[in-house]
Chains A and B, each alone.
Chain A
Amino acid sequence: DIQMTQSPSSVSASVGDRVTIACRASQGISNWLAWFQQKPGKAPKLLIYAASSLHSGVPSRFSGSGSGADFTLTISSLQPEDFATYYCQQANSFPITFGQGTRLEIK
């Protein structure tokens, strides 16, 4: 199974800050990676697919980069509604696996 490791596990930031979350796969997955945002009590929402493509309706302050085994999600200027937990997911092979999540908290 491909293991996905996110860092950091949690981060505190302020509105307007730039935040970067990293995700590392235990083996190369080309660009078969997605990022999700989840708020408490809600289902996850797709933000980024194919490592760097923005899902429909997602604000342009979200961006993704990387290929192979190392990926990043960047939020260019944090908004109040961005405080949530973020997950990466490898879409390269079965079983599909997720990172453990990164909790983005208000400083």
Chain B
Amino acid sequence: EVQLVESGGGLVQPGGSLRLSCAASGFIFSDHHIDWVRQAPGKGLEWVGRIRNTANSHTTDYAASVKGRFTISRDDSKNSMYLQMNSLKTEDTAVYYCAKVDTYGNWFDFWGQGTLVTVSS
């Protein structure tokens, strides 16, 4: 059974940093791209970024709204990926989901349960 479990969310002040983790199981982690998608309270879904699989050298892409502030990394030996968030803004407040990218297209076939990040003074 595919499982993705996020952790690391919490309350942080504007300008602060936070690191989210996503632990995966039930599939060959190193073979798959993994993305972060977020959802502000009461709002829609916003793509945050991607880290590609080992075959694609773990390259990354980011949304313009987070580029230069957020960094995605992964440790295939631990079946885990991470989202380092720096210079946080109040508008970064959201539930952050990690999502497995399907083999055949840029859609998300499995999602974690999400972790809430609140940026507030």
Chain A positions within 8 Å of B, measured between CB atoms, are 32, 34, 36, 38, 42-46, 49-50, 55, 87, 89, 91-92, 94-101
Interface residue ranges of B27-81 to A (CB < 8 Å)? 35, 44-47, 50, 61, 63-64
Instruction: Please give, as numbers and ranges, the residues of chain B lying within 8 Å of A97 by CB-CB distance.
Output: 47
Let me know if A50 and B108 touch, CB within 8 A.
no
Let me know if B64 and A91 touch, CB within 8 A.
no
In the complex, besides A87-B44, A97-B47, A98-B45, 15 extra interface pairs with C-beta distance below 8 angstroms are A32-B105, A34-B105, A36-B45, A42-B113, A43-B97, A43-B111, A43-B114, A44-B45, A46-B110, A49-B104, A50-B105, A91-B107, A94-B50, A95-B64, A98-B46
Contact count A vs B, C-beta below 8 Å: 59
Q: Once the chains are docked, how many angstroms separate the CA of A92 from the CA of B105?
A: 8
Instruction: Please give, as numbers and ranges, the residues of chain B lying within 8 Å of A36 by CB-CB distance.
Output: 45, 108
Main secondary structure of the interface of A (DSSP, over half): loop
Interface residue ranges of B65-119 to A (CB < 8 Å)? 97, 102, 104-114
Instruction: With both chains docked as a complex, state the minimum distance between the C-beta of B100 and any C-beta of chain A, in angstroms.
Output: 10
Instruction: Please give, as numbers and ranges, the residues of chain B lying within 8 Å of A87 by CB-CB distance.
Output: 44-45
Q: Of all chain A residues, which has the CB nearest B95?
A: A43
Let me know if B44 and A44 touch, CB within 8 A.
no
Instruction: Please give, as numbers and ranges, the residues of chain B lying within 8 Å of A99 by CB-CB distance.
Output: 44
